[in-house]
């Protein structure tokens, strides 16, 4: 390899995978530094034709990760015709997958990037849920996809985290009779807010267990049945004022409640789309 030679790396997505492989191979020939020309997001034959011409003129190798069938076929055929070395870096493993799983690949570019975007969206949602847990930073209500409201121990936090792992930004607000709710609750769409309620006896048991876990006596006001009735009445009245959907979580798993919330959310999104289409 002389100083005038290049390695063209072509992809119908980004070139990160191909570049890593090319550098790994080059290192086996004491070529830790190689001249690389990236051509990312190739979408048509014209781009490939120009690259093959340039590669022939510079006596270069083409290394590629192209999954769109007609682009790959053209590149393989034209490179052979022009006497250019073109190496498909994905094909051997792709063929192994086809044999092993007896399935045809999708042939769609940028799927890894889509996965990465989904991952970062979920991370961002989890960070949002942590920041806006238990009434922290009420202004965040305006930016949430879902706002959960309810008295203490109605599964607001675990439900927020479960939904966040699915990519939804969730804020949750505890409802306490002595503390006025944030004004933002009355400014957002009522269908983005979800009220969580529970039967008094179920809540009493949960709170007593919580006090026991903390090493406190079960006769504290927190688990007092009269106080619990007062809190639940206040919460339900507030939810009716807001006009939000209400879910009784007494005998529901987190997953079941989350599915109900997402079904409500999708129904609302569908209504908005249909209304304005």
Q: Give 190-210 pLDDT, tens digit per residue.
A: 989 999 999 999 999 999 998
Distance of CA 20 to the CA centre of its chain: 26
Cross-strand pairs, 61: 7
Is 100 labeled as ligand-binding?
Answer: no
Instruction: Tell the residue number behind the tokens 């957002």, with chain if given.
Output: 188
With residue 265 as reference, give the H or E element that holds it: helix 254-276
**pLDDT class of 173 with cuts at 50, 70, 90:** very high
pLDDT value at residue 15: 61
Q: What is the per-residue pLDDT for 272?
A: 35
Confidence of residue 113 (pLDDT cuts 50, 70, 90): low
How big is the CA angle at 77 (ends 74 and 79), to the nearest 5 degrees? 100
Q: Any known ligand binding at 152?
A: yes
Task: Please indicate if the annotation marks 249 as binding a ligand.
Answer: no
CATH 3.40.50 fits 118-276, yes or no: yes
The answer to whether the pTM exceeds 0.75 is no
- Is residue 5 helix, strand or coil? coil
**Above 50 in pLDDT, residue 97?**
yes
**Of 85, 75, 80, nearest in space to 55 by CA:** 85
CA distances from 62 to 5, 91, 142, 175 (A): 11, 14, 51, 63
Cα 80 to Cα 72: distance, rounded to the nearest angstrom: 12
Written out in words, the top-level CATH class of the domain with range 7-109 is: alpha beta
156 annotated as a binding-site residue:
yes
- Domain boundaries, given as residue ranges, for the chain: 7-109, 118-276
- The mean per-residue pLDDT over the stretch 55-67 comes to 90
Whether 27 has a binding-site annotation, put simply, is: no
Q: How sure is the predictor about 237, in pLDDT bands with cuts at 50, 70 and 90?
A: very high
The pair of structure tokens assigned to 193 is 């807010």
Distance CA 201, CA 210 (A): 14
Q: Tell me whether residue 257 is annotated as binding.
A: no
What does DSSP assign to residue 66?
Answer: -
Q: Is 150 annotated as a binding residue?
A: yes
Backbone φ and ψ of 110, nearest 5°: 70, 15
- Asked if residue 220 lies in contact with residue 152, where contact means CB atoms within 8 angstroms, the answer is no
């Amino acid at each position: 390899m002389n100083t005038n030679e290049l390695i063209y790396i072509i992809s119908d997505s980004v070139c990160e995978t191909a570049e890593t492989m090319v550098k790994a191979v080059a290192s086996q020939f004491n070529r830790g530094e190689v001249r690389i020309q990236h051509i990312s997001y190739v979408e048509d034959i014209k781009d490939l034709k120009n690259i093959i011409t340039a590669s022939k003129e510079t006596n270069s190798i083409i290394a590629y990760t192209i999954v769109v069938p007609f682009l790959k076929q053209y590149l393989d055929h034209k490179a052979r015709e022009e006497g250019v070395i073109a190496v498909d870096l994905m094909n051997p493993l792709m063929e192994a997958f086809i044999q092993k799983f007896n399935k045809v690949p999708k042939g769609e570019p940028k799927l890894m990037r889509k996965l990465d975007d989904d991952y970062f969206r979920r991370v961002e949602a989890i960070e949002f849920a942590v920041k806006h847990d238990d009434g922290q930073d009420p202004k965040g209500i305006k930016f949430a996809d879902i706002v959960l409201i309810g008295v203490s121990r109605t599964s607001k936090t675990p439900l927020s985290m479960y939904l966040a792992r699915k990519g939804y930004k969730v804020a949750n607000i505890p409802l306490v009779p002595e503390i006025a709710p944030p004004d933002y609750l009355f400014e957002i769409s009522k269908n983005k807010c979800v009220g969580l309620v529970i039967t008094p006896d179920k809540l009493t048991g949960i709170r007593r267990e919580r006090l026991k876990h903390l090493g406190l006596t079960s006769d504290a006001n927190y688990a007092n049945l009269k106080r619990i009735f007062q809190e639940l009445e206040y919460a339900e009245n507030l939810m009716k004022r807001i006009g939000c959907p209400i879910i009784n979580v007494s005998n529901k798993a987190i997953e079941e409640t989350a599915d109900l919330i997402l079904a409500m959310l999708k129904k609302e999104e569908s209504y908005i789309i249909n209304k304005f289409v």
